A and B are shown apart, each in its own frame.
Chain A
């Protein structure tokens, strides 16, 4: 038993002391801090995150400018595009303005009378403008045209208000246990969840590569013969699995720590935006509590964590078994590809979970090991499966891991001292059928 813990400790220390671990973590820390503090970084290099967009309006209709200004502000607020405008009415000629805006980001809006369509507009700029900005201007101009048209056709302001106001939509759910706030939260979580599980997907790749590389290194150098003459293949196998799982869990914890560090730095650099993040987090949390979704999180989070830990185990057991049958990283890369493809499929299925409303096929897929850790929580979050389905996924994973250990150990014991790559699958089957444990 002492040798087992020694092997596990050494395996873990070797990973933590390696240069690539240090390099990857420095990159991750810098990337996470950078992304969360992007606005401060842009400002530090002279950029302006909240740059004011200058607009000059040449209104030849003598009627449209105030309507356009009002509409622009309205759509900016409604669509949440958060532009800051410096808008002014021009008192110069078109040529003069065009000369003025050359080599600048200023946009000129030319509003002219039109015999058939009441007004027509031109958006004039020196260079390209981004799509969202263009759409915003387009929406404001279209709305301006409608209002001008109504006003020119003598529709009174009360009637105009009725015609242009947004439609009132009542959302009614017939199921008593559902509420609309929760529906909204599920829609939001359905979008957010794939981002949350991305680190899990990356950690699975880490895990599978790591175990394969270690076992192949020991086989290639024939160190395996010295190691296995002193510890049982079983102890060796479990030490690899345990050390690798401990490593990915530690790496996961480090990712959370980096996010916290990034938020602390943000707080230090910019109190105003930090407080806005705090208030945003608080708003989201309040919405979660009001909608009742917070209660759901009390079981979604533990169930997801259990699924993830069990799946890490599954991936590491499979990686160990496959690596024992190969003699080089090239062979291993080939043999582990299907497993990685399944994991990738699980990730995409989780992202697109909302599209499979009521599908029995997707529900069954959520029970399948390798996929369940990604798909089950995604479907649970958007309310397409219940707790009982996730529990079934967990039971299936436990049974699958037990079978992997039971039969995989036989393959491992034979594989780690075998240096032939001929008829690999036949050898695996033969090992599984053998009576040796």
Chain B
């Protein structure tokens, strides 16, 4: 289990992370979100032992972060951290040996992963000769070759086509089943919604929203009503508590302030020819924009 307790980090006089705390249990996928410059990378660097925090502690299974602990952490960085002149085999062996693994063990695991990602033929190829998608797969393999207890994924799906995204998702779920704690960071909210049970949104180094995704969505007052039928958008817009009406394909999305507005909307259109009336949870994207926007306004 990863435990981040009350960490604060300053760069000179700039506050990058402000009293941040969270835990990620074994087999849990945790979403760490934030706009650019929110402090995610600094947090990852502190967890990886690359930076010392000014205060607070980070432990993995009760041990403070040092080189013996980072041997059990995998890190997929946002940029592809690969030495492109190396071959796939050389690169994975290089990172694996730095994590204290023996070469024979790395070779065995590498063959299994290459088989799983259907890129066995690329083993002796130089990384610079591979497509972006395949480079990303190699970066993932290099990060998990040590069968990590904690895996940090920073934008892992960048540049991947839907088939490769699928393969990588399967691999992440497999690691989760084996008890690996995973921290997932992405600006693609649909991936976060799909993966993460728990999440935290950072703004200017401070957590502005934290908890289980289900609870966050339930607690979030604003909802969307999806309506299909003959309605007058102007009429709906005039109802108090309706925040906006947008046409999406052959439907209308009515954004409302709270559940209390649902009844008012329904009454207004109940006599009309309506074939769909569904109240939906807001998307994480909406919550993110709302929360980050609010914090910027403060």
Q: Which of A3, A217, A221, A225 contacts B50 (CB 8 A)?
A: A225
Q: How large is the interface on B (under 10, 10 to 19, 20 to 34, 35 or more residues)?
A: 20 to 34
Please determine whether A222 and B79 come into contact, CB atoms closer than 8 angstroms.
yes
Residues of A within 8 A of B79 (CB): 221-222
Residues of B within 8 A of A218 (CB): 83
Interface mask (B77-100 → A, CB under 8 Å = 1, otherwise 0): 101111111000000001101111
| A216: min CB distance to chain B, Å | 12
Q: Which of A3, A7, A226, A230 contacts B77 (CB 8 A)?
A: A226
- List residues 206-259 of chain A with CB under 8 A from any CB of chain B: 217-218, 221-232
Residues of B within 8 A of A227 (CB): 98
| B155: min CB distance to chain A, Å | 12
Query: Which of B65-73, B197-205, B224-232, B265-273 has 4 or more CB atoms under 8 Å from chain A?
Result: B65-73
Please determine whether B49 and A225 come into contact, CB atoms closer than 8 angstroms.
no
Residues of B within 8 A of A226 (CB): 75, 77, 81, 95, 98, 142-143
Residues of A within 8 A of B116 (CB): none
Residues of A within 8 A of B143 (CB): 226
Bound Cα distance from A6 to B98, whole angstroms: 8
A417 at interface by CB-CB < 8 Å: yes
Please determine whether A222 and B45 come into contact, CB atoms closer than 8 angstroms.
no
| A225-B98 in contact given A230-B71, A231-B67, A232-B67 (Cβ < 8 Å) | no
Please determine whether A221 and B83 come into contact, CB atoms closer than 8 angstroms.
yes
B192 at interface by CB-CB < 8 Å: no
Bound Cα distance from A247 to B50, whole angstroms: 29
Interface mask (A401-419 → B, CB under 8 Å = 1, otherwise 0): 0000000000000000100
Please determine whether B70 and A221 come into contact, CB atoms closer than 8 angstroms.
no
Interface mask (B46-81 → A, CB under 8 Å = 1, otherwise 0): 001111000000000000000100110101010111
A421 at interface by CB-CB < 8 Å: no
Chain B at the A interface: mostly helix, strand, loop or mixed?
loop
Residues of A within 8 A of B49 (CB): 229
Please determine whether B95 and A221 come into contact, CB atoms closer than 8 angstroms.
no
Please determine whether B75 and A3 come into contact, CB atoms closer than 8 angstroms.
no
Please determine whether B75 and A229 come into contact, CB atoms closer than 8 angstroms.
yes
| A225-B71 in contact given A6-B97, A10-B94 (Cβ < 8 Å) | no
Residues of B within 8 A of A224 (CB): 81
Interface mask (A28-50 → B, CB under 8 Å = 1, otherwise 0): 00000000000000000000000
| B83: min CB distance to chain A, Å | 5
In the complex formed, the residue of B with least CB distance to A230 is B98
Bound Cα distance from A2 to B102, whole angstroms: 11
| A230-B81 in contact given A6-B97, A10-B94 (Cβ < 8 Å) | no
Please determine whether A230 and B70 come into contact, CB atoms closer than 8 angstroms.
yes
Residues of B within 8 A of A10 (CB): 94, 97
Please determine whether A229 and B50 come into contact, CB atoms closer than 8 angstroms.
yes
Q: Which B residues contact A (CB, under 8 angstroms)?
A: 45, 48-51, 67, 70-71, 73, 75, 77, 79-85, 94-95, 97-100, 142-143
Q: 17 extra interchain contacts, Cβ-Cβ under 8 A, other than A221-B82, A222-B79, A230-B67? A: A2-B100, A3-B98, A3-B100, A6-B98, A217-B83, A218-B83, A221-B80, A221-B81, A223-B82, A225-B75, A226-B81, A229-B73, A229-B75, A230-B70, A230-B71, A230-B99, A231-B98
Contact sample, A vs B, 12 pairs, CB 8 Å cutoff? A3-B97, A10-B97, A221-B82, A222-B81, A225-B81, A226-B98, A228-B50, A229-B73, A230-B67, A231-B67, A232-B67, A417-B51
